Amino acid sequence: MKTLLILRHAKSSWKNSELADHDRPLNKRGKRDAPRMGELLVREGLIPDLIVSSSAKRAKKTTELLAEESGYEGEIIFERDLYAAWPEAYIETLNVIPDEFETVMVVGHNPGLEDLLEILTGEGERMPTAALANVSLPIEHWRELSLEIEAELLNIWRPKEL
């Protein structure tokens, strides 16, 4: 069994309308919520073995704040292919993860993350900014992950509910 943690980036700022979408930073709430999700990882014993994040500025900063707060010291891979990605892009990225990593976190964007979660688990859950889902995958090797497997949603946390 493998574990997939699905995290939507924290709340971003729309203050500067001239910035490209990829370059939007976190707003005040985002800077507060990202570390809170890092604390949650510690409380739940869910520190990932590897984090793969969208390269968008808001996703990178979410990942960095979460990693710092949780004490995560592993590798963080920033992937341009996860920016505004559909479920297939997440699957392709995860399929090449070495099997030594049991728990992997992906950090990305909607609607792709909500779609990924629903396709894998059959559960249509809302993923607002900084929401985290814990998914159990019935696979031994990351290359076995596909959109056809039947995974189990173990839990979902939303910052406003904490």
- State the Cα–Cα distance between residues 129 and 32, nearest whole angstrom: 12
Amino acid symbol at 147: L
Domains in the chain: ranges and CATH? 2-8+25-161 (3.40.50.1240)
At 19 the pLDDT is 80
Q: What single DSSP character describes residue 126?
A: -
User: With contact defined as beta carbons under 8 Å apart, do 34 and 40 qualify?
Assistant: no
At 139 the pLDDT is 98
- State the Cα–Cα distance between residues 37 and 10, nearest whole angstrom: 10
User: With contact defined as beta carbons under 8 Å apart, do 160 and 126 qualify?
Assistant: no
User: With contact defined as beta carbons under 8 Å apart, do 137 and 147 qualify?
Assistant: no
- State the Cα–Cα distance between residues 138 and 58, nearest whole angstrom: 31
Q: Is 84 helix (H, G, I), strand (E, B) or coil?
A: coil
Q: Is 138 helix (H, G, I), strand (E, B) or coil?
A: coil
User: With contact defined as beta carbons under 8 Å apart, do 56 and 22 qualify?
Assistant: yes
Q: Which of 133, 124, 130 is nearest to 154 (CA)?
A: 133
Per-residue pLDDT of the chain (162 residues), as tens digits, is 999 999 999 999 887 777 888 988 899 999 999 999 999 999 999 999 999 999 999 999 999 999 999 999 999 999 999 999 999 999 999 999 999 999 999 999 999 999 999 999 999 999 999 999 999 999 999 999 999 999 999 999 999 998
Amino acid symbol at 140: E
At 21 the pLDDT is 81
pTM value is: 0.96
